[in-house]
C-alpha cells in the first residue's frame, strides 16, 4: 500500500509534499478546452450607442467592447481573482530602513529563500509556516538569490561582486566566485544545467557568466552593453534573456549566440537618460518577453520576430518586478507603489486597445513597495519581497470557476489508478 501511495502522490506532482500541485501546463490546457467548450453558452446584452444587441460572449466580443469604450460588462459566474495573504516575516532586521531585494521558491515549493539590502543576509524560510531554517550574513548588499532546480543549493550575488553557493539544508559554503564589480542578475536553467550571473558595467561593459552546476566551472563569458540587471531562462531552456541599462538581448542557449536584441529609442521616446531596463520575464508559452523599466514602463516583445508588441505604462512609477500567472492569462506588475497590478494578457496583446484603456484585472494592496515577486512551480502561491524588510506569502485565487472541478477529476483519476494497482 505504501508503494502505491507514493506512486499516487508522485502522479499528482506531490512527491515532496502537498504544496506541489498539478502542472501549470495541464492547467492551461484544461482551461483552454473549457473556454472553447463554453464560448457559445452565455448570451448577454451590451449597449452600443442607443441600441441593445444580443451576442454570444467570446474573448473577441469583450475586446471589441473595450475598444468601443463600453462602460459596463457582464460579470462571469464562478471564481473571483484575488490574492489572499498567508504570512509575513522579517527578512531584513532593519525593517522600514531595510529592504528585501529578492525572494524565490524552491522547485518543490517547500522553502523560500531571500536576500536583503541592509542587513546583508541570505535566509531560508519554510513555506508552510514561515519558520526560518537558516541564515548567512555576508559583507555587502544581496541583489538576487536563486535555487538550483534539484533543491540542493541556494545561490546569491551581491554588490561586492561575490557569487556564493550554499548547501540548501545547512547554509554551508559550497562555491564562491569573485567578479570585478557588483552583480545584479542571477538565474538557473530549468534543466539545472546552468547558473548564470549578470555583472554591473566596467568601462561601459557588463558581463554574463555561465557556470556549470555540475562542477561550477565557467562555460561561457558574454559581454553586454551595460549593467546586466536581470536574467531569465525560457521554460524550455531554449533562450536566455539579459536586460539592463538601454539594452535587451535574447541568447540561444545551445551556443549562446544572439537570437534577438532591442534597445530603448531615446531620441524617439525619452529625454531622461535614467530611463533603463531593469527586469524581465518570459511568458509561460515562451512566445513573449516582458521587460520592465523605470518610470512605469513595461515592454512586450515577440521572441521570434523581434517585434515590440506593446509599450505599456499604467503607473508612472518605477517597475521593479514583473511576473506571469502560470496559465499565461494574467500579467503582474509591481514596484514603487502599494499595489500588485494584474492585467488580462488578451487585453495587452490586442493592439486595438490603447494603453490608457487597458483595464486592471486586479489591484492587490500591499504593505510597502515590492522589489521582487515569484510564483511557485504550480502557480498557486506567490512570494513577495518588500522594501519594509518583509518577505510575504500569498495564495493566488484564479477567476476560473471550474478549477476545483478539474482538480477533483484529476485526483479521482489518480485514485482510480492507484486502487487498480493495489488490486493487482
User: Does one domain contain both 99 and 161?
Assistant: yes
Same domain for 17 and 90, yes or no, is: no
Any idea what the CATH number is for the domain that residue 369 is in? 2.130.10.10
Does the residue 139 lie in any domain?
A: yes
No. of helices (H) and no. of strands (E), the chain: 6, 30
Whether the predicted pLDDT of 78 surpasses 90: no
Q: Do residue 28 and residue 88 come from a single domain?
A: no
Please indicate, yes or no, whether residues 58 and 92 belong to a single structural domain of this protein.
no
The partner residues of 344 in beta bridges, in order of sequence, read: 330
pLDDT band at 423 (very low <50, low <70, confident <90, very high): confident
- Chain-centre distance for alpha carbon 343: 14
Torsion sign across C-alpha atoms 234, 237, 238, 243: positive
Does residue 306 belong to any structural domain of this protein?
yes
Q: Are residues 44 and 169 in the same domain?
A: no
Question: If residue 423 lies in a helix (H) or strand (E), which one and from where to where?
Answer: helix 403-423
Looking at the structure, tell me whether residues 64 and 151 fall in a common domain: no
**DSSP E strands: which ranges in 91-193?**
100-105, 111-116, 121-126, 132-137, 142-147, 153-158, 162-167, 173-178, 183-188
Q: Which residue would you say has higher pLDDT here, 397 or 73?
A: 397
Residue 422, domain member (yes or no) = no
Instruction: For residue range 317-353, list pLDDT tens digits in order.
Output: 899 999 999 999 999 999 999 999 999 999 999 999 9
Residues 321, 379, single domain; the answer is yes
DSSP letter (8 states) at residue 24: H
- Domain membership flag for residue 20: yes
Phi/psi region, residue 95 (left: phi>0; alpha: psi -120 to 50; beta: rest), is left
Task: Calculate the CA 265 to chain-centre distance.
Answer: 26
Q: Which residue has the cell 472553447?
A: 36
Q: Which of 49, 78, 107 is the last residue of a domain?
A: 78
| The three cell numbers locating residue 378 | 504550480
Please provide residue 261's backbone torsions phi and psi, each rounded to the nearest 5 degrees.
-145, 145
Tell me, yes or no, whether 161 lies in a domain: yes
C-alpha–C-alpha distance, residues 324 and 379, integer Å: 9
Q: Are 171 and 136 in contact (CB under 8 A)?
A: yes
The residues that bridge with 85 in the sheet, in sequence order, are 394
Mean pLDDT of 224-228: 96
Q: Answer yes or no: is 424 within a domain.
A: no
Residues 32 and 114 both lie in one domain: no
Last residue of a domain, one of 78, 108, 126: 78
Q: What is the pTM of this model?
A: 0.80
Q: Which of 101-105, 123-127, 216-220, 401-405 has the lowest mean pLDDT?
A: 401-405
Total tally of structural domains belonging to the chain: 2
CA 202 to chain centre: 29
Name the burial class of residue 139, with classes exposed (0-12), middle (13-18) and buried (19+) by CB atoms within 10 angstroms of its CB. Answer: exposed
The answer to whether 353 and 303 have CB atoms below 8 angstroms apart is no
Task: Name the domain boundary from 47, 78, 109.
Answer: 78
What HEC string does 281-334 produce? EECCCCCEEEEEEHHHEEEEEECCCCCEEEEEECCCCCEEEEEECCCCCEEEEE
Encode pLDDT of 108-133 as tens digits: 999 999 999 999 999 999 999 999 99
Same domain, 221 and 271: yes
Q: Which three cell numbers stand for residue 24?
A: 501549470
**Dihedral (CA of 374, 372, 130, 161) sign:** positive
The stretch 21-34 carries a mean pLDDT of 49
What is d(CA 59, CA 278) in angstroms, rounded to the nearest whole number? 32
Same domain assignment for residues 294 and 209: yes
Domain residues for the domain of 348 are 82-397
Asked if residue 413 is part of any domain, the answer here is no
Mean pLDDT for the chain overall = 84
Pair 66, 89 in one domain: no
Task: Check residues 342 and 52 and name the one with the higher pLDDT.
Answer: 342
Read off the pLDDT of residues 387-402 as tens digits, 9 standing for 90 and up. 999 999 999 999 887 7
Residue 189 lies in a domain: yes
Mean pLDDT across 278-283: 97
Q: What is the pLDDT of residues 136-194, one digit of tens each?
A: 999 999 999 999 999 999 999 999 999 999 999 999 999 999 999 999 999 999 999 99
Contacts of 90 (CB under 8 A, 6+ apart): 389, 390
Q: Are residues 34 and 89 in the same domain?
A: no
Flag the least confident range among 47-56, 178-187, 257-266, 364-373.
Answer: 47-56
Amino acid at each position: 500500500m505504501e508503494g502505491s501511495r507514493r506512486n499516487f502522490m508522485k502522479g499528482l506532482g506531490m512527491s515532496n509534499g502537498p504544496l506541489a500541485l498539478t502542472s501549470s501546463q495541464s492547467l492551461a490546457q484544461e482551461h483552454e478546452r473549457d473556454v472553447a467548450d463554453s464560448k457559445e453558452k452565455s448570451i448577454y446584452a451590451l449597449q452600443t450607442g442607443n441600441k441593445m444587441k444580443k451576442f454570444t460572449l467570446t474573448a473577441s466580443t469583450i475586446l471589441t467592447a473595450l475598444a468601443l469604450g463600453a462602460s459596463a460588462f457582464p460579470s462571469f459566474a464562478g471564481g473571483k481573482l484575488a490574492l489572499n495573504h498567508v504570512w509575513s516575516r522579517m527578512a531584513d532586521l532593519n525593517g522600514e530602513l531595510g529592504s528585501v531585494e529578492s525572494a524565490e521558491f524552491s522547485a518543490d515549493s517547500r522553502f523560500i529563500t531571500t536576500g536583503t539590502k541592509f542587513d546583508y543576509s541570505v535566509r531560508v524560510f519554510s513555506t508552510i509556516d514561515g519558520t526560518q531554517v537558516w541564515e548567512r550574513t555576508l559583507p555587502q548588499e544581496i541583489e538576487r538569490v536563486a535555487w538550483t532546480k534539484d533543491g540542493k543549493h541556494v545561490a546569491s550575488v551581491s554588490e561586492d561582486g561575490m557569487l556564493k553557493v550554499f548547501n540548501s539544508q545547512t547554509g554551508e559554503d559550497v562555491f564562491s566566485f569573485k567578479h570585478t564589480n557588483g552583480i545584479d542578475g542571477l538565474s538557473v536553467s530549468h534543466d539545472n544545467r546552468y547558473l548564470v550571473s549578470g555583472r554591473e558595467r566596467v568601462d561601459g561593459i557588463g558581463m554574463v557568466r555561465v557556470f556549470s552546476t555540475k562542477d561550477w566551472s565557467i562555460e561561457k563569458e558574454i559581454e553586454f552593453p551595460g549593467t546586466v540587471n536581470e536574467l531569465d531562462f525560457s521554460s524550455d531552456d531554449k533562450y536566455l534573456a539579459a536586460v539592463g541599462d538601454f539594452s535587451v538581448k535574447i541568447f540561444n542557449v545551445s551556443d549562446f549566440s544572439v537570437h534577438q536584441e532591442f534597445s530603448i529609442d531615446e531620441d524617439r521616446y525619452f529625454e531622461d537618460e535614467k530611463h533603463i531596463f531593469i527586469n524581465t520575464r518570459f511568458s509561460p508559452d515562451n512566445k513573449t518577453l516582458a521587460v520592465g523599466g523605470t518610470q512605469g514602463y513595461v515592454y512586450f516583445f515577440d521572441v521570434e520576430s523581434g517585434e515590440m508588441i506593446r509599450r505599456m505604462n499604467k503607473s508612472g512609477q518605477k517597475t521593479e518586478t514583473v511576473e506571469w500567472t502560470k496559465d499565461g492569462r494574467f500579467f503582474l506588475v509591481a514596484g514603487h507603489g502599494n499595489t500588485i497590478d494584474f492585467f488580462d494578457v488578451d487585453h495587452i496583446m490586442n493592439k486595438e486597445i490603447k494603453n490608457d484603456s487597458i483595464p486592471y484585472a486586479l489591484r492587490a494592496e500591499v504593505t510597502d513597495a515590492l522589489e521582487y515577486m515569484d510564483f511557485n512551480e504550480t502557480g498557486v502561491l506567490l512570494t513577495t519581497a518588500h522594501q519594509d524588510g518583509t518577505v510575504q506569502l500569498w495564495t493566488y485565487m484564479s477567476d476560473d470557476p471550474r478549477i476545483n472541478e478539474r482538480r477533483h477529476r484529476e485526483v479521482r483519476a489518480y485514485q482510480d489508478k492507484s486502487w487498480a494497482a493495489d488490486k493487482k
